[in-house]
Amino acid sequence: MPLQTDGIVVSNRRIRSLYFMLRIYCPPIANQIKPGQFVMLKVSDDTSPLLRRPFSVYKSYSLSHPEKRKRGYLFILYKKVGKGTQKMASLSKGQKVNLIGPLGNGFALSPLPSSANCILIGGGVGIVSLYPLAEALKGRKLFVLIGGKTRNDILGVEDFRKLNSNIFMATEDGSLGVHGTVIDLFVSQTRKFKRNEENYIYACGPVPMLRALAATIKSKKFICEVSLEARMGCGFGACWGCVVRTKHPKTPYERVCQEGPVFRMDDIIWE
């Protein structure tokens, strides 16, 4: 059940160029959040910006985590892009922040055959919601494809490496990995995934990236879940400001914050 609660900022440091890692002590949310769910964060005490901002949780440690000193913490990896994230970047140690969460459905995490290939595709900050999923899938055949505009936008590599995943990178300016988009990278790697294997794709990133992925996956050999980034008003299903068009006649519009942010790729109308 989502709850509204305060957390305490433990640290908030720049990790690179416009990217920051915010660490919050918030046991009630850290204890129950699942891969792919998100929080709505009140980024400042004043009324500007008025609306909370949605963020995936990069790492979280429940109250039963074996390492006692980590329990109750959650980490938000964010990019400074506008007014709200600008304010976030000035949050300092000891400050109180208000959060609503966990929100959204998260990834399905249905039992997978042991031979399944799990292919995680993240563009920019889209990689954030895929990291807890990779942790949950640890021990399986994991392929992580990370894309960004430049090498500065390639996030999480060291953490994914610790999970023994196969990592591939692409940058649009060619400064790291393959020169092109993460979808170009995916296309160049598809021969790795054989027809007689079960291939599960989990993707998160800007809508044009996901649309390109949808156009690329023509055969049925991939089962694909996508986590959508939409502008959000409330974050908990009340304003209908975040809808996406679906192929379901009974529910032609679904809310990214409530029915999503994770959807089966086949269920979405992408054009």
Give min distance, CB of 71 to ligand FAD, in A.
22
Selected from 71, 149, 237, 267, the binder of ligand FES by CB under 6 A is: 237
Q: Per CB under 6 A, does 262 bind ligand FES?
A: no
CA-to-CA dists, residue 16 to 27, 92, 166, 215, 264, angstroms: 27, 18, 23, 33, 33
Q: Per CB under 6 A, does 55 bind ligand FAD?
A: yes
Selected from 27, 105, 241, 265, the binder of ligand FES by CB under 6 A is: 241
Rounded to the nearest angstrom, the gap between the alpha carbon of residue 167 and the centroid of all alpha carbons in its chain is 17
Tokens standing for residue 143: 């392929």
Site size with ligand FES, rule: CB under 6 A: 12
44: alpha, beta or left? (left if phi > 0; alpha if psi -120 to 50): beta
Tokens 């995936």 appear where?
56
CA distance 178 to 170: 4
Strands 38-42 and 53-56: antiparallel
Say which entry of ligand FAD, ligand FES, none residue 128 contacts (CB below 5 to 8 A, set by partner kind): ligand FAD
CA distance 42 to 271: 33
- Among 9-17, 47-55, 61-69, 154-162, which window interacts with ligand FAD (CB under 6 A)? 47-55
Q: Which is nearer to ligand FES, 140 or 255 (CB)?
A: 255
Contacts to ligand FES from residues 30-49, by CB under 6 A? none
Q: Per CB under 6 A, does 79 bind ligand FAD?
A: yes
CA distance 43 to 13: 15
Q: Per CB under 6 A, does 255 bind ligand FES?
A: yes
CA distance 190 to 243: 31
Contacts to ligand FAD from residues 126-155, by CB under 6 A? 128
Nearby residues of 262 by Cβ (< 8 Å), 6 or more positions away: 36, 104, 105, 106, 107, 108, 225, 226, 227, 228
Say which entry of ligand FAD, ligand FES, none residue 23 contacts (CB below 5 to 8 A, set by partner kind): none
Selected from 136, 176, 239, 265, the binder of ligand FES by CB under 6 A is: 239
Q: Which is nearer to ligand FES, 122 or 260 (CB)?
A: 260
The footprint of ligand FAD (CB under 6 A) covers 38, 49, 53-56, 77-79, 81-85, 125, 128, 229-232, 261
The footprint of ligand FES (CB under 6 A) covers 232-235, 237-242, 255, 257
